[in-house]
Amino acid sequence: MRRALNLVGKQKPYLMAHRGNRVMCPENTLASFRQAVQDGADILETDLHLTSDNILVCIHDATVNRTTDGKGAVQEMTLKQLKSLSASYGRSKFREEKIPTLTELARIIPKNVALALELKSDRFLKPEICRKLAQELRKQRVFTRTVMLSFSMARLQAVQAVEPELPIGWITVKRLIPKKGVQLIGPLFPILYLNPLYVAWAHRLGQLVSPLDTTPDARLGYYRWLGCDAVLSDDPGKTRKVLDRKT
């Protein structure tokens, strides 16, 4: 059985910061990731695209239009062009923030914090791109604490075909039972109410469960009762306080 993400010394449910702390900072920026670490996040979740010169960058959308002061498709821009933009998301305090590369993110995370990387492009279907990703994770010494995420099984399988040791996590908004073949599964949170046996079922398959719920605080008691392995949060500082109160 392929390994799941296991964070030694961390108490479950792990706290996964959704695009860093996107309440206090512009999403998917180094400021956002640093804030999430300060908040006590166990896992930093981010989104990956590739530039036209094949650099892995942390941005959710396929274009820069929403989160920066520029316009255009990420895959049609060089890293230099992306770095000329402000990733402040219109927040003047953060006007110096840029779209970070995966390398830049990996270099700032503490050794006890993991990465969850959502693959946002079909370019990850290409073996050479998957190899590039795995090589960068190994080079930055984060390979053993990284999980790949996607709504696309094809992208996940492409990565695992190249690097079988990398755990993969499938996100779903409608499937009511766990899907085999992944190490982590992220069901949209109402699914856990429609099927209260979902988490136990996934655990029998050797899977970790992290509900797709970016504002989980009101439901943390239920997630603990079910035995969820991780919770996602847009505001990890606030969620950490709730988790600690319920410990």
Nearest-5° angle of CA 11, CA 13, CA 16?
A: 105
Give domain status of residue 5, yes or no: no
**Pseudo-torsion of CA 209, 106, 65, 132, nearest 10°?**
-90
Give domain status of residue 194, yes or no: yes
Looking at the predicted structure, is the pLDDT value of residue 3 above 70?
no
Looking at the predicted structure, is the pLDDT value of residue 55 above 80?
yes
Looking at the predicted structure, is the pLDDT value of residue 49 above 60?
yes
Give domain status of residue 9, yes or no: no
Distance CA 179, CA 156 (A): 13
pTM, entire model: 0.96
Give domain status of residue 184, yes or no: yes
The model's confidence at residue 246, banded by pLDDT at 50, 70 and 90, is: low
Closest CA to 102 of 139, 72, 52: 139
Closest CA to 232 of 37, 48, 59, 43: 43
Looking at the predicted structure, is the pLDDT value of residue 91 above 70?
yes
What pLDDT is stored for residue 223 in this prediction? 98
Give domain status of residue 121, yes or no: yes
10 in Cβ contact with 49 (< 8 Å): no
Number of domains in the chain: 1
What pLDDT is stored for residue 208 in this prediction? 97
- Quick check: is 49 catalytic? no
Give domain status of residue 7, yes or no: no
What pLDDT is stored for residue 5 in this prediction? 78
Question: H helices within 140-234, ranges in order?
Answer: 153-162, 190-194, 198-204, 220-226
Average pLDDT score over the chain? 96
Amino acid identity of 56? L
- Domain holding 191: CATH number? 3.20.20.190
The model's confidence at residue 2, banded by pLDDT at 50, 70 and 90, is: low
Q: What are the tens digits of pLDDT across the range 150-198? A: 999 999 999 999 999 999 999 999 999 999 999 999 999 999 999 999 9
The model's confidence at residue 6, banded by pLDDT at 50, 70 and 90, is: confident
Measuring CA to CA, how many Å separate 222 from each of 22, 217, 227, 246?
24, 10, 9, 11
Give domain status of residue 26, yes or no: yes
Options 19, 22, 60, 240, the catalytic residue: 60
**Residue 51 belongs to what domain range?**
14-245
What pLDDT is stored for residue 4 in this prediction? 73
Distance CA 201, CA 177 (A): 8
Looking at the predicted structure, is the pLDDT value of residue 8 above 90?
no
- Burial profile 150-162: b = 16 or more Cβ within 10 angstroms, e = fewer: bebeebbbbbbeb
What pLDDT is stored for residue 1 in this prediction? 45
Question: H helices within the chain, ranges in order?
Answer: 30-39, 79-83, 102-108, 127-139, 153-162, 190-194, 198-204, 220-226, 236-245
- Quick check: is 203 catalytic? no
Options 18, 120, 132, 240, the catalytic residue: 18
Distance CA 201, CA 196 (A): 9
More confident residue, 4 or 167: 167
Average pLDDT over residues 207-228: 98
229 in Cβ contact with 13 (< 8 Å): yes
Average pLDDT over residues 23-29: 98
Q: What are the tens digits of pLDDT across the range 77-90? A: 999 999 999 999 99
Give domain status of residue 202, yes or no: yes
Q: Are strands 208-209 and 184-187 parallel, antiparallel or unpaired?
A: parallel
